[in-house]
Amino acid sequence: MCEQSTDDDTSEWANSRFRPDSLGRAFGILFVASIGSFVLSTMGLIALGWWLPADAPKFSVGDPPVLALLGSWVGMWASPLAYSSWSFWQLRGMTVERSRPRSRNPLVRGYQLLALVSADLDELTPYEKRLQLTVQSFLLGAIVLVGPTYLVVSGHGRGVTTPNG
């Protein structure tokens, strides 16, 4: 039976490239790469559409430029939501220090979270700073997910045809 001390486990994590503490940075890099890919694929799709003759068929969802655009969009909403999940996991291990009293009413708590989004960093405890980043990244991911989805479902963003029609 092999016994390892906790010191060996922690030193193994410290020397590892992918440890739980470094995931936030990885999600940030993924988000920036997704934004860059989204901008480049959008410009490429527009340029391709501009250079194609008018009688050429429209783009379909299966075309590579459209797939690149969709893939980068998935990265743009998945990375902030994954960062929020990781950050929430980090919050659970932190000691709770609050500069404001906490309410039991869910509506008041929601209002306090939204007020925390725009709060000054100098007035916040380390726990509240982490909570602020968590809420901001969750809201960013939700906006990036819901905005284009609403446009496609409502019919305002129907520039791309589906393979069936």
CB atoms within 10 A of CB 76: 22
Residues 6+ apart with CB under 8 A from 36: none
Quote the CA–CA distance of 120 and 122 in Å, as a whole number: 6
Helix (H, G, I), strand (E, B) or coil at 60: strand
Q: Of 77, 72, 69, whose CA–CA distance to 140 is shortest?
A: 77
User: Which residue did the predictor score with more confidence, 131 or 102?
Assistant: 131
Q: Is the pLDDT of residue 49 over 60?
A: yes
Quote the CA–CA distance of 56 and 50 in Å, as a whole number: 11
Q: Quick one: pLDDT at residue 41? A: 83
Helix (H, G, I), strand (E, B) or coil at 161: strand
Q: Which residues pair with 161 in a beta bridge?
A: 60
Q: Quick one: pLDDT at residue 25? A: 79
1 CB-side CA count, 13 A:
1
Tens digits of residue pLDDT in 125-140: 888 888 888 898 899 8
pLDDT grade for 106, boundaries at 50, 70 and 90: confident
Helix or strand (DSSP H, E) at 150:
helix 126-154
Residues 6+ apart with CB under 8 A from 42: 69
Q: What is the pTM of this model?
A: 0.65
Quote the CA–CA distance of 108 and 122 in Å, as a whole number: 23
Q: What mean pLDDT is predicted for residues 46-70?
A: 78
Q: What angle do CA 39, 47, 141 make, to 5 degrees?
A: 20
